[in-house]
Amino acid sequence: MKKLHSTFLTACSLLILSCATLKNQNSEPSTALERLQAGNARFYSHHMKHPDQGPKRVETTALKQQPFAVVVTCSDSRVAPEILFDEGIGDLFVIRNAGNIVEEEDVLASIEYAVVHLGVRTILIMGHEECGAIQAMVAGPDHAGHHEPAHIEAILDKLKKEEEEKAVLDSPARGQERVHQCVVANVMHGIHAVEDTLKSEDMVPKEGLSILGAVYDIHSGKVVFLPAGRSTF
């Protein structure tokens, strides 16, 4: 009888716990950051909803797009924003290049377009662990002095010249920790670059505009938002 009673209590506890989890999953996020965090939590916990991906969504977004966030991230094939944030067609305005370099005219123009013409108020700069561009910058030319092709070298030079990267390269950090810190530094540099650009541009409405920074872990599927990487105008 005692065993039956304790089994009943355990079952009740599990029911309460799963109801609480369900409530958390079902409660509507109130900000873009909460929506991104909730979508990523569904992704890494294997509870994806795959929203906004059917023919109906194609039909409605053909008339007008209203993405809720800009995501600037790396071209790395493992870093696919719509998948890892469990979003669909028309939800994210995505800009990608190797090393998520922000200071390129086409990248800044794309951000401005999303803010000015599509009304997006949240911009996420997202690097990722073990980024090949960052690893190449940290490693430098090999012992034989071999360099990368010209365009890749140009990206590596750009990364090396970032103030935030220089601070890490001058620090005692070594190995994977050095690469991780450079990934974070590159995200911070991207945030500062977007801030400077948008602040100096009179045509960009600033109210409610926020710039977020994050690093995606290619092992766990988790996006870690950087506490220092939040800028609100």
Stretch near Zn ion under the rule CB under 5 A, chosen from 16-24, 53-61, 66-74, 169-177: 66-74
User: Could you tell me the smallest distance in angstroms from the CB atom of residue 214 to Zn ion?
Assistant: 14
Minimum Å distance from CB 181 to Zn ion? 15
Nearer to Zn ion, 76 or 87 (CB): 76
Instruction: Return the C-alpha torsion angle 106, 36, 222, 226, nearest 10.
Output: 70
Sheet with 210-216, side-by-side order of all strands: 92-97, 69-74, 122-128, 210-216, 223-232
Count Cβ atoms below 10 Å from residue 4 Cβ, excluding itself: 8
Q: Residue from 76, 87, 129, 162 that binds Zn ion (CB under 5 A)?
A: 76
Binding string, residues 162-201; x marks residues near Zn ion by CB under 5 A: ----------------------------------------
Which phi and psi (to 5°) does residue 124 adopt?
A: -110, 125
Q: Which is nearer to Zn ion, 74 or 187 (CB)?
A: 74
Shortest distance, position 16 Cβ to Zn ion, whole Å: 42
Mark out the alpha helices in the chain (DSSP H runs): 2-26, 32-44, 55-63, 81-84, 105-118, 132-139, 150-161, 163-169, 175-199
- Please count the residues of this chain forming the interface with Zn ion, following the rule CB under 5 A: 3
Structure tokens at 41: 């939590």
Distance from chain centroid for Cα 88 = 16
> Which one of 74, 89, 156, 223 is in contact with Zn ion (CB under 5 A)?
74
Shortest Å distance, C-beta 131 to Zn ion: 3
Residues of this chain, 195-214, that bind Zn ion according to CB under 5 A: none
In 3D, which of 63, 35, 64, 62 has the Cα closest to residue 51?
A: 35
Q: Is 131 among the residues that bind Zn ion (CB under 5 A)?
A: yes
| Chain contacts with Zn ion (rule: CB under 5 A) | 74, 76, 131
